[in-house]
Amino acid sequence: MPRVSVVIPAYNHGRFVGEAVRSVLAQTMADLELIVVDDGSTDDTLAVVESIRDPRLRVIAQSNRGTHAAINAGLRAAGAPLLAILNSDDVYAPERLARAAAVLDGEPDVALVGSHIQVIDAVGTPIGIKHGWADLEPWPLEQPTRSFRAGADPHAALLTEHYWSTTSNFVFRRTHAERAGEFRPLRYAHDWDFALRLALIGRSVLLAEPLLRYRVHERNTIREDQAAMVFEICWCLAVHLPQHIATAWFAGLNPSIFVERLLHSIHTFGCDRVLAVLLAHGLAADPNAAVAWLTPGDTRRTSCLDFIADRLRRGGEPGEAAPPPTPSGWIARWRARRGGRGA
């Protein structure tokens, strides 16, 4: 049995997937298997993967069902006690799996391991390093120093934003994945939802090294549907906030400090009423009912999407940010704060 199973969900990334596959096969931890799940690609993605010869590589081809379904298919086929994911346009540093496995082997209470991220452009040119929640934030907060973003606890910071950025940054135990459950049918926030579920099971560790290269390019999923993205952000908060604030870490905070941090951490792009509606429906208490809200065509979801789209067209509520920035947008903002420097 291999020590680590790596799953690559792939869709129309023929220009990138070869580099992703080779970065896994070149790991210093060679005791691994790699499962590439082609999610109905219409370009040469499948041909590129099948041209790579290595006995540790397996390929699964399925009709297009979405990233979450491709990840689930790969994880179900995986045989190792440790699991990792790499998106087909990202790249591992050679020692990434060895470093993550050492943490999981030595610290049994850890449920998720990741690292700082080297952000690159379409051709692989370095743009900058993302140090967890310390920089390259996905959206600005009005007073970040009064939010969980200003603290040092990875659990609390995860309620503010998905600072792990991508499923490519996830290494975890099979046993914990079985407790957390499969990836849910979220288009934009499936990774944040999964990280929040693992955070209820054990600690999260973010290695202070850029062991992942995260690629920003013109076909990143985040560019597609901003209303749907905001809906999924509100959905994740409604599902997870009640559970997380009941944990011992949050219960141990001074109540006044806790409320202040929470007030300055929650960001919904002017769509607090959507979050309020979702919380009122008790999604945290009924996972099956929560997932039903994600069904395309669900009238409740449609009402929320229409409300969000209207808010985004009008620029949100007073004092709120405009629509969620694209990757190029938030990187441009980050570069501007650093005087144009890339790293």
Is 77:60 a contact under the CB 8 Å cutoff? yes
3-state secondary structure of 112: strand
Domains and CATH numbers, the chain: 4-220 (3.90.550.10), 227-325 (no CATH)
Assign 186 to helix, strand or coil.
coil
- In terms of C-beta density within 10 A (0-12 exposed, 13-18 middle, 19 or more buried), how is residue 253 classed? middle
The yes-or-no verdict on residue 267 having pLDDT over 90 is yes
Please tell me the predicted confidence (pLDDT) of residue 305. Answer: 97
**pLDDT tens-digit readout, 10-55:** 999 999 999 999 999 999 999 999 999 999 999 999 999 999 999 9
User: pLDDT tens across 127-143, in order?
Assistant: 999 999 999 888 889 99
What's the pLDDT tens digit per position in 216-250? 986 655 556 899 999 999 999 999 999 999 998 88
DSSP conformation class of 135: S
- If you ran DSSP here, which 8-state letter would residue 138 be given? S
